[in-house]
């Protein structure tokens, strides 16, 4: 809560503000206690103190307060806070905004909800009031699940005064997007947007910003609904027509048109709020309800598959689902309302509840089709919305499936987890508020866990695992680190081949060495550690220079050689020399800490595997070795050719090995892992080794704490189950 929010708590006379529960930019809504009556209410405190703006808002609130309708939110009191800001109190609705409810699996509930919204709008329109800002946050639910429309005219006025709601652009009619004042048919367009969002979970038009979204409302065609919602398409097309004269012309006409979808005719307010449906032929109504539930379940299952089917298969799906829905609607509509009693309905509901409980006890939760607990409970809720026994049964089923989902995920049964996820989603959309919230929390945790699993598979270059996770990751959707998505994972997961370039963030470029029948894969540094790279390590750790000698020169002990002054000229891109085995190990540990990955010296076997594939070329093209460029009277084994470097040369200058590791055949010999304190091994030719040595056979030993002018090192990156391969980098 910010400072102004804190100030509000003590400034609204007659109310004790408990906590902020929402903010629209123009006002903050609080949960509050009305002191005189000790009742829980909601209080909206407007942000502006401008006298003209406040007067306009107050006039709208007083007009709203005079509206008496069961689907329009009441206003208890209008007043001024201590600092002059306008406030009003209203009922506190626990079920809160429409945006917190998932109704995608409830097409009949959506139709019923839209009728209530349209009934409220029709009442307001008949009195010359245009809402001008319909969106989910203004459609509230009271405890029995009935709609309460809020903020009539407030959103429109706020936008005109410079306080637009950040999400309003998604619901604007084309004429509003062009800057024109909204009319009654603008409200009906916004109801169409709301309906599309309830059916699909997304807005029909969206852009990168509010301006782009507004343009989309004007220019883009009405999108197609998924096949299972095909019966809604004509209604949506007319609701979202670009020209107002092509839309429904009144709220009543728009509500009546819903009968083509659910078979229900518009009724009076008293009949709609009675809490029970009156039907004549009870058996026909119950059968129709069950058919609708079955069609909803079938459609839900089909929707997950339609992306992967051909257009012909998708058309077949739409053809199969829509007639079932129409048949159910026709059967329901065919039942006259005058011959069945409420008590008969109640008796049938009790029978269905008992059947559902027996099916649930037998673990027939979703199968067989037509005879399972889910369909029975959904049918009960259609006959008797809010039935406590049905809600309790659905909550219990949801709890069971949540446990199975958790177990399936922990046991790596990913396909089963995907099935259970969809079933939990369906049940949660009908469950109690508490059960729904618990599911939302579990779902969010699963989304994070799946995102982590996708990341691990990508870093392990495990394309098979990624393909296994993809449907579940898409259904959730999975939660990834910022800037990462499933496509990024697929690119990262492309399994490296020999010589692939890999690099951890903050690490050196490595080349991939594949596994053999007896040894695991690893990555080895593409070139030897350079003077510049080693200098960064020294600067970070303040490691002192080790004692350094020149091989076969006893007088070098008097020369005070170091990695910075090895006795010959080097550039930053030359391999570092005069570093001991201990220095090399310390460097690998520092690099591991810096990258949060595992680096070490290569074993002798790993060094040999990385050095395989000697090019068929001369010694001076193969590497920097003892040759004519080195002028030493004591040499008796130098090659007659000239490699261009008397001592060290820049790394990466000569021919690479088979996997693309440079300088394995010259420049400097390299420390490898193993050995003992007084006998640490190095391998490979150096700039001072001639034809007496073979490229892969050269090896020697030295003390742990002594460096040499012709010995350097490179590191390997561990790759195993616990240490996924580094990301690939471009290049060859």
| CATH of region 3-91, choose from 3.30.200.20, 2.40.50.100, 3.40.190.10, 1.20.1250.20 | 3.30.200.20
Q: Which long-range contacts (CB under 8 A, 24 or more apart) does 20-24 make?
A: 22/97, 22/137, 24/137, 24/155, 24/158, 24/165
For the sheet with 510-513, list strands across it: 501-502, 510-513, 522-525, 716-718, 599-600
- Domain 100-272: state its class: mainly alpha
DSSP H or E segment with residue 608: helix 604-611
In whole angstroms, give the CA distance from residue 726 to residue 504: 5
Please list the residue range(s) of the chain that carry CATH number 3.30.200.20: 3-91
In the prediction, which pLDDT does 576 show? 98
Question: Are the CB atoms for 1 and 28 separated by under 8 Å?
Answer: no
pLDDT of residue 306: 38
CATH 1.10.510.10 intervals, the chain: 100-272
Residue that is written with structure tokens 């059947």 in the block = 355
- Sign of torsion, CA 284 285 291 292? positive
| pLDDT per residue as tens digits for the range 77-114 | 888 887 788 888 888 775 555 655 666 667 788 888 89
Of 540, 572, 536, 523, the C-alpha closest to 714 is 523
Give the contacts of 222 (CB within 8 A, at least 6 positions apart): 204, 236, 237, 240, 241
Residue 98: per-residue pLDDT: 63
What backbone torsions phi and psi does residue 41 show, to the nearest 5 degrees? -140, 175
Residues 201, 209: Cα–Cα separation, whole Å: 19
CA distance 177 to 262: 32
211 within 8 A of 143, measured Cβ to Cβ: no
Which tokens in the block code for residue 38? 């000790």
Consecutive 10-residue averages of pLDDT for the chain (732 residues): 45 82 79 81 84 81 81 85 84 62 72 90 87 83 76 72 68 82 88 89 83 84 82 91 92 89 56 37 46 48 39 35 37 41 73 90 86 84 82 93 94 92 87 89 92 83 81 88 79 75 92 89 96 97 96 88 96 97 97 95 96 83 86 71 92 92 94 94 92 84 96 95 78 49
pLDDT at 382: 73
- Name the percent of the chain in helix, strand, coil, to the closest 5: 45, 10, 45
**582-589 — which CB contacts under 8 Å span 24+ positions?**
582/546, 582/704, 582/705, 583/543, 583/546, 583/707, 584/529, 584/671, 584/713, 584/715, 586/537, 586/541, 586/543, 587/529, 587/534, 587/537, 587/713, 587/715, 588/715
Sign of the CA dihedral with 369 first, then 371, 373, and 378 last: positive
Find out whether 648 and 659 touch, Cβ atoms under 8 Å: no
- DSSP for 342-401, written as a single string: HHHHHHHHHHHHHHHHHHHHTT-SS-STTSSHHHHHHHHHHHSTT-HHHHHHHHHHHHHH
Q: Using CA atoms, how far apart are residues 122 and 100, in angstroms rounded to an integer?
A: 25
Q: Where in the chain is the domain with CATH 3.90.1580.10?
A: 501-718
Res 303: pLDDT:
38
Predicted structure pTM score: 0.40
Backbone dihedral region for residue 687 (phi beyond 0: left; psi -120 to 50: alpha; all else: beta):
alpha
Q: Give the model's pLDDT for residue 105.
A: 60
Q: Characterize 112-126 residue by residue with b for buried, 16 or more Cβ atoms within 10 angstroms of its Cβ, and e for exposed.
A: bbbbbbbbbbbbbbe
CA distance 715 to 698: 19
Residue among 420, 610, 633 at smallest CA distance from 512: 610
Q: Where are the alpha helices (DSSP H) in 612-699?
A: 619-622
For residue 172, give the nearest of 126, 118, 215 by alpha carbon: 215
Beta bridge partner(s), residue 511: 501, 524
> Are 110 and 136 in contact, with CB atoms under 8 Å apart?
no
Residue 272 in tokens: 């709609």
CATH for 501-718 is 3.90.1580.10
What is the structure's pLDDT at 342? 60
């Amino acid at each position: 809560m910010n400072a102004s929010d804190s100030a509000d708590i003590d400034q609204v006379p007659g109310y004790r503000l408990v906590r902020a529960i929402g903010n629209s930019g123009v006002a903050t809504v609080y949960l509050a206690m009305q002191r005189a009556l000790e009742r829980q209410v909601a209080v909206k405190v407007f942000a502006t103190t401008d006298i003209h703006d406040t007067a306009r808002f107050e006039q709208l609130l007083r007009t709203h307060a005079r509206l008496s309708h069961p689907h329009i939110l009441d206003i208890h009191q209008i007043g001024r806070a201590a600092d002059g800001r306008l406030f009003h109190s209203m009922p506190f609705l626990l079920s809160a905004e429409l945006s917190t409810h998932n109704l995608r699996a409830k097409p009949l509930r959506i139709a019923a909800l839209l009728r209530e919204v349209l009934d409220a709008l029709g009442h307001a329109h008949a009195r010359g009031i245009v809402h001008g800002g319909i969106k989910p946050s203004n459609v509230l639910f009271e405890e029995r699940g009935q709609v309460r429309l809020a903020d009539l005219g407030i959103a429109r006025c706020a936008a005109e005064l410079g306080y637009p709601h950040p999400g309003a652009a998604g619901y604007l009619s084309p004429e509003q997007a062009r800057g024109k004042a909204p009319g009654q048919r603008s409200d009906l367009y916004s109801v169409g947007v709301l309906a599309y969002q309830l059916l699909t979970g997304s807005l029909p038009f969206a852009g990168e910003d509010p301006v782009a979204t507004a343009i989309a409302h004007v220019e883009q065609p009405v999108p197609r609904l998924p096949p299972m919602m095909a019966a809604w398409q004509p209604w949506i097309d007319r609701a979202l027509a670009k020209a107002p004269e092509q839309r429904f012309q009144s709220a009543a006409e728009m509500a009546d048109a819903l009968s083509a979808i659910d078979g229900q005719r518009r009724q009076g307010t008293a009949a709609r709020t009675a809490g029970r449906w009156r039907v004549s032929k009870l058996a026909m109504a119950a059968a129709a309800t069950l058919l609708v539930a079955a069609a909803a379940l079938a459609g839900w299952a089909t929707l997950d598959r339609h992306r992967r089917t051909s257009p012909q298969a998708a058309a077949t799906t739409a053809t199969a689902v829509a007639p079932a829905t129409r048949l159910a609607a026709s059967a329901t509509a065919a039942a006259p309302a005058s011959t069945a009693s409420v008590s008969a309905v109640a008796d049938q509901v009790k029978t269905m509840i008992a059947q559902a409980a027996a099916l649930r006890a037998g673990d027939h939760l979703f199968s067989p089709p037509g005879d399972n607990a889910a369909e029975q409970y959904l049918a009960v809720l259609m006959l008797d919305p809010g039935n406590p026994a049905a809600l309790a049964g659905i909550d219990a089923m949801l709890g069971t499936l949540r446990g199975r989902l958790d177990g399936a995920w922990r046991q790596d049964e990913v396909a089963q987890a995907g099935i259970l996820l969809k079933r939990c989603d369906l049940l949660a959309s009908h469950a109690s508020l508490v059960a729904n919230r618990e599911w939302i929390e579990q779902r969010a945790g699963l989304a994070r866990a799946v995102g982590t699993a996708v990341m691990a598979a990508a870093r392990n270059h495990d394309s098979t695992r990624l393909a296994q996770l993809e449907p579940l990751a898409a259904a959730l959707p999975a939660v990834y680190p910022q800037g990462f998505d499933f496509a990024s994972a697929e690119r990262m997961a492309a399994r490296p081949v020999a010589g692939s370039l890999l690099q951890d963030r903050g690490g050196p470029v490595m080349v991939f060495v594949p596994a053999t029948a007896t040894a695991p894969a690893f990555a080895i540094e593409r070139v030897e550690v350079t003077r510049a790279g080693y200098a960064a390590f020294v600067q970070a750790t303040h490691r002192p220079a080790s004692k350094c000698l020149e091989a076969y020169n006893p007088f070098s002990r008097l020369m005070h050689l170091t990695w910075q002054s090895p006795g010959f000229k080097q550039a930053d891109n030359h391999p570092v020399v005069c570093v001991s085995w201990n220095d090399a190990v310390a460097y690998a540990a520092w690099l591991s800490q810096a990258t949060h990955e595992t680096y070490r010296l290569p074993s002798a076997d790993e060094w040999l595997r990385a050095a395989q594939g000697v090019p068929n070329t001369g010694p001076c093209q193969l590497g920097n070795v003892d040759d004519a460029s080195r002028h030493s009277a004591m040499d008796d084994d130098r090659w007659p050719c000239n490699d261009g470097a008397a001592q060290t040369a820049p790394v990466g200058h000569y021919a690479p090995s088979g996997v693309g590791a440079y300088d394995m055949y010259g420049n400097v010999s390299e420390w490898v892992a193993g050995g003992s304190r007084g006998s640490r091994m190095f391998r490979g030719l150096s700039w001072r080794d001639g034809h007496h040595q073979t490229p892969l056979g050269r090896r020697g030993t030295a003390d742990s704490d002594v460096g040499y002018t012709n010995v350097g090192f490179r590191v390997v990156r561990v790759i195993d189950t616990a240490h996924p391969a580094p990301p690939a980098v471009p290049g060859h």
